[in-house]
Chains A and B, each alone.
Chain A
Amino acid sequence: MSASEIGAPRHQTAERLFHWLMAVAILVCVFTAFLPIVGVDFEWVDIHWIAGFVLTASIVFHLWRVFMVLGLSDMALHRQDLTDLKGISDPAFEPIPGRKYDLGQKLYHWGIAVVVLATVVSGILMTLKLDTPMWDRDPGLFSGQAWGLIYAGHGLAALALIFMFLLHLYFSLLPEHRDLLRAMIRSKYVSMDKRHS
């Protein structure tokens, strides 16, 4: 048996597909939004809203999986998760074993959920100002001030998204998290202990 075959599956195929589809959609949205701002000029609007539509569809799929198949228990915050905070002041702290996600991962998940939902909801409202195959533009739907708030909300959420993405990139590339990254690419989860035994 090879090392990659040891261990239980951490993520099902549907969840891994969702994760990578969402990642690609977010990256396309971020690059098409910010490259023109830093001076790289191209026709970005259509690519941006189509990637946003893919992102929205992937989130709907994730919500359906969570509420109809997976449940919320793995990602729910419990009082015992707070013991992970001892790791900040106590370098010898050992986290509680047997949990799929620790406090940091849960907080990150709920943080990125809020940020992505804010981006998507404001983005959907902004597409109402565009002609798409699904609808004709309707700029009179909201007042000028309301449109300004929607645009500002979308921009703020996008800045927060860059922050969250950079943190995610850093934590996923840490050597001690290599197994978690591998589990998001392939179906097996291999613990460090099992690999070294």
Chain B
Amino acid sequence: MEFLRYQKSVWGEKLLIGVSWDFLWVPFAAAACVIAVHLMLRTRQRRVRRINH
């Protein structure tokens, strides 16, 4: 699986034509990871505040 897409030009050269859309899931997975970490920190913070108050 390549990160970039290429095609052959009329002269047979390998030409870059853009990003591979096979990686369309990456921003969703990355966002899910950040959200999961934030939810864990937020839960811990709320628990400590509840105990302190």
Min CB distance B22 to A, Å, is 10
Contact of B30 among A148, A154, A163 (CB under 8 A): A163
Q: For A174, list chain B residues within 8 Å (CB).
A: 42
Complex: how many Å from CA A37 to CA B35?
A: 26
Task: Beyond A91-B48, A92-B45, A163-B27, list 10 extra A-B contacts (CB 8 Å).
Answer: A91-B41, A91-B45, A148-B6, A151-B16, A151-B17, A151-B19, A152-B18, A163-B28, A167-B35, A170-B38
Contact of A152 among B13, B19, B31, B49 (CB under 8 A): B19
Min CB distance B18 to A, Å, is 4
Please report the total number of A residues contacting B with Cβ < 8 Å. 24
Q: For A88, list chain B residues within 8 Å (CB).
A: 41
Q: Check if A166 is an interface residue, CB within 8 A of chain B.
A: yes
B44, A91: Cβ atoms closer than 8 Å: yes
What 0/1 readout, one digit per residue, does chain A (73-114) give for beta carbons within 8 Å of chain B?
Answer: 000000000000001100110000000000000000000000
Which residues of B are at the interface with A, using a C-beta cutoff of 8 A? Answer: 4, 6, 9, 13, 15-19, 21, 23-24, 26-28, 30-31, 34-35, 38, 41-42, 44-45, 47-49, 52
Min CB distance A146 to B, Å, is 9
* Residue of A with least CB distance to B10: A144
Min CB distance B9 to A, Å, is 6
Cβ-Cβ contact count across A and B, 8 Å cutoff: 66
B45, A155: Cβ atoms closer than 8 Å: no
B45, A145: Cβ atoms closer than 8 Å: no
A144, B15: Cβ atoms closer than 8 Å: yes
Complex: how many Å from CA A159 to CA B30?
A: 11
